[in-house]
Amino acid sequence: MNEEPSPSDIFRKRLREAREMRDYKQEQLADLAKMPATTIAHFEAGTRKPSFDSLRKLAIALEITTDYLLGRVDDPELAEAGDPLFRDVAKLSGSDREIAKDFLKMLAKRSSKKDKAS
């Protein structure tokens, strides 16, 4: 059976690639992301799955986007190029959908402001 890899399968590979691209050892990245080095080792080995919180901390420490770590874009620098939550808003019904759309637009603005500021 040909199952699509899960986001955490993609994450473990992308995390290693991004860390090596920045030329960090696991310990250095751990220091920057304020988490134990063993956690990074577990994430890369796939023996532990990340939370969104870890995902975000690592993306910030590596100065890349969570989209890259999740395999949504192939360019580590490219932000907001295909947000899965936004794409699947179609599954929501009625005004929840409108509310989610407006909210995501606001989050997108926040993201781009932060990118410009940094």
Site residues, another protein (CB under 8 A): 6-8, 11, 48-56, 59-60, 65-67, 70, 79-80, 83-89, 91-96, 99-100, 103-104, 106-108, 110-111, 114
Site of tokens 């960090």: 24
Query: What distances in angstroms separate CA 24 from CA 19, 38, 62, 74, 91, one per listed residue?
Result: 5, 15, 9, 20, 40
Residues in Cβ contact with 59 at an 8 Å cutoff, skipping those fewer than 6 apart: 65, 66, 68, 69
Q: Which residue number, 25 or 105, has a Cβ lying nearer to another protein?
A: 105
**Smallest separation (angstroms) from another protein to the CB of 53:** 5
**Smallest separation (angstroms) from another protein to the CB of 112:** 8
Residues in Cβ contact with 65 at an 8 Å cutoff, skipping those fewer than 6 apart: 59, 73, 76, 77, 78, 79, 80
Q: Which residue number, 45 or 92, has a Cβ lying nearer to another protein?
A: 92
Q: Which residue number, 32 or 60, has a Cβ lying nearer to another protein?
A: 60
Q: Which residue number, 29 or 79, has a Cβ lying nearer to another protein?
A: 79
